[in-house]
Amino acid sequence: MANALVWLRRDLRLHDNPALAQAVSDGYAPVLVYVHAPQEQGDWAPGAASRTWLHHSLIALQQAIAEIGGRLIIAHGQSLHELERLQAETQAEALYFSNLYEPILQARDGRVQAAFEQRGLTVKRFNANLLFEPWQIKTGGGTPYKVFTPFWRNASAQLSLRQPYPRPDRLPDFGGTGLTIDALGLLPERDWHAGFWQYWQPGESGAAEMLDIFCEGAIDGYKEQRNLPDRTGTSKLSPHLHFGEISPQQIWRRIERVRLSESAQADLGHFKSELGWREFSYHLLHHFPDSSDRNLNPQFERFAWAEADPELLSAWQRGRTGIPIVDAGMRELWHTGWMHNRVRMIVASFLCKNLRMHWLHGARWFWDTLLDADLANNSQGWQWTAGTGCDAAPYFRIFNPVTQAERFDPQARYIKRWVPELSALPAPVVFAPWTKPAVSAALAPDYPSIPVADLAESRQSALAAYSRR
């Protein structure tokens, strides 16, 4: 039986893996390869939190492959060089891999494909991690969409779920040469990430368990519950999706099997639209490849962003702004590698509008600290809140973090969990401690007494800057 290289990247799973399944179906003995090449991702090489997840995800995949007789070959270096070396070692006749969509990686993958095909080898590529290829959905005029609602209306009408790709029963163990996962140096010297793993289980089985938890406990009521950060009202599937430990096709098929009341059908539809926003983000990144670093709305190229103040930025990053809901979110991020989506919007609005710092400062911090850091989602999420993107919240929509906390964390359970020095403060003081300085000084002496920005003044300053753009 001839060998074929199966180049795994962000499709770290055995179930519903089109590249792996098709290689087996085509009669090849699949040689499973992971090449670590962060330098090929340019300025957006994986951040520290992502690297820790990748370490554990590779271990989980390695174990799953070993359980059915195979071995995952680990390499580190330049992708084309390592793949050519392994092809020579294995005498592989074909290369199978799933698509990535970051512009710099699309170009790299094109070079790999061309090099293999020039040598007469078969190359097959697949969509493993999206419902649609980013170039597949177009307007009636053949142009890319810039507004989500018509994009998703068109995409939904075209959606046809394929049959799941089968997991191989057995895999061959090709000897070959390879590195250990530890040799990739993915873990930081300081174990600041140790607390993450009480909340997360990287790998395919962890993804399946998280999906089950969501379907059994959170999808009913999702539309409202997803806004409340003190409870598990979201799927928390984003890191698993980013690393391809589960596919959106698998998620869609599973949620369709959930028995819901008629009133809960809106919850199901809303969750599907969240998957749609992920598709839209990839659509935008593909068609506007500079959007990871530049404003999609060119009017903001002239916007008067404030000069980044290192002390203010550090206070935001460390959760010491004096704004409780903002600080709670930033501390949740640091301790768990994740932040509730409603709170992501609040902390982003505060940075981009009250502090008027360019959204890239926030995007870079999220990139380094989020386990689910994803270039398409991260870029479009920050541009949405900053008001600089396609179909974005307008810049003049400035979240008031106090009223947001009062509405979405009315018992202050989320705030008090992540900012425990405020646990003795009663409502409504806990939402804005500076309004009752005597009470706060007595009951929360270790918390900043004055916020880093006056909410009313900074709002007016942001609106004035917007009017001058």
Domain ranges of the chain: 3-127, 129-164+203-287, 298-467
Residue type, 429: V
Q: What is the pTM of this model?
A: 0.96
Rounded Cα gap, residues 72 and 342, in angstroms: 38
Cβ neighbours for 317, distance < 8 A, ≥ 6 positions apart: 330, 365
Among 10, 9, 34, 5, smallest CA distance to 22 is for 5
- Residue-level pLDDT at 354: 97
Interval 275-289: pLDDT, tens: 999 999 999 999 999
* CATH code reported for the domain at 298-467: 1.10.579.10
- Residue-level pLDDT at 467: 87
Residue 469 vs residue 186, higher pLDDT: 186
Q: For residue 469, is pLDDT > 90?
A: no
Q: For residue 261, is pLDDT > 80?
A: no
> CATH number of the domain at 129-164+203-287, out of 1.10.10.10, 3.40.630.90, 1.25.40.80, 3.40.1280.30?
1.25.40.80
* Residues catalogued as catalytic: 274, 277, 305, 341, 359, 382
- Band (pLDDT 50/70/90 cuts) for residue 265 is confident
- Residue-level pLDDT at 232: 84
- Residue-level pLDDT at 463: 92
- Band (pLDDT 50/70/90 cuts) for residue 414 is very high
Mean predicted confidence (pLDDT) in 296-312: 92
% of the chain surpassing 90 pLDDT: 89
- Residue-level pLDDT at 442: 96
- Residue-level pLDDT at 25: 97
Mean predicted confidence (pLDDT) in 386-412: 91
CB neighbours of residue 310 within 10 Å = 7
Q: Do you find a cis peptide bond into 168, omega within 30 degrees of 0? A: no
Q: Which two tokens stand for residue 194?
A: 């140790």
Interval 26-75: pLDDT, tens: 999 999 999 999 999 999 999 999 999 999 999 999 999 999 999 999 99
Q: For residue 395, is pLDDT > 80?
A: no
- Residue-level pLDDT at 218: 82
3-127 is classed in which CATH architecture? Answer: 3-Layer(aba) Sandwich (3.40)
Q: What is the SS3 string spanning the chain?
A: CCEEEEEECCCCCCCCCHHHHHHHHCCCEEEEEEEECHHHHHHHCCCHHHHHHHHHHHHHHHHHHHHCCCCCEEEECCHHHHHHHHHHHHCCCEEEEECCCCHHHHHHHHHHHHHHHHCCCEEEEECCCCCCCCCCCCCCCCCCCCCHHHHHHHHHHHCCCCCCCCCCCCCCCCCCCCCCCHHHCCCCCCCCCHHHHHCCCCCHHHHHHHHHHHHHHCCCCHHHHCCCCCCCCCCCCHHHHHCCCCCHHHHHHHHHCCCCCHHHHHHHHHHHHHHHHHHHHHHHHHHCHHHHCCCCCHHHHHCCCCCCCHHHHHHHHHCCCCCHHHHHHHHHHHHHCCCCHHHHHHHHHHHHHHCCCCHHHHHHHHHHHCCCCCHHHHHHHHHHHHCCCCCCCCCCCCCCHHHHHHHHCCCCHHHHHHCHHHCCCCCCHHHCHHHCHHHHHHHCCCCCCCCCCCHHHHHHHHHHHHHCC
Q: For residue 394, is pLDDT > 90?
A: no
- Residue-level pLDDT at 306: 94
Mean predicted confidence (pLDDT) in 330-346: 97
Cβ neighbours for 173, distance < 8 A, ≥ 6 positions apart: 69, 70, 71
Strands 29-36 and 73-76: parallel
Cβ neighbours for 20, distance < 8 A, ≥ 6 positions apart: 6, 8, 14, 30, 32, 96, 165, 168
- Residue-level pLDDT at 167: 97
- Band (pLDDT 50/70/90 cuts) for residue 393 is confident
- Band (pLDDT 50/70/90 cuts) for residue 466 is confident
- Residue-level pLDDT at 64: 98
Same CATH topology for 3-127 and 298-467: the answer is no
Q: For residue 409, is pLDDT > 90?
A: yes
- Residue-level pLDDT at 324: 98
Interval 102-149: pLDDT, tens: 999 999 999 999 999 999 999 999 999 999 999 999 999 999 999 999
Interval 163-196: pLDDT, tens: 999 999 999 988 777 899 999 999 998 889 999 9
- Residue-level pLDDT at 347: 98
Mean predicted confidence (pLDDT) in 218-245: 92
- Residue-level pLDDT at 453: 97
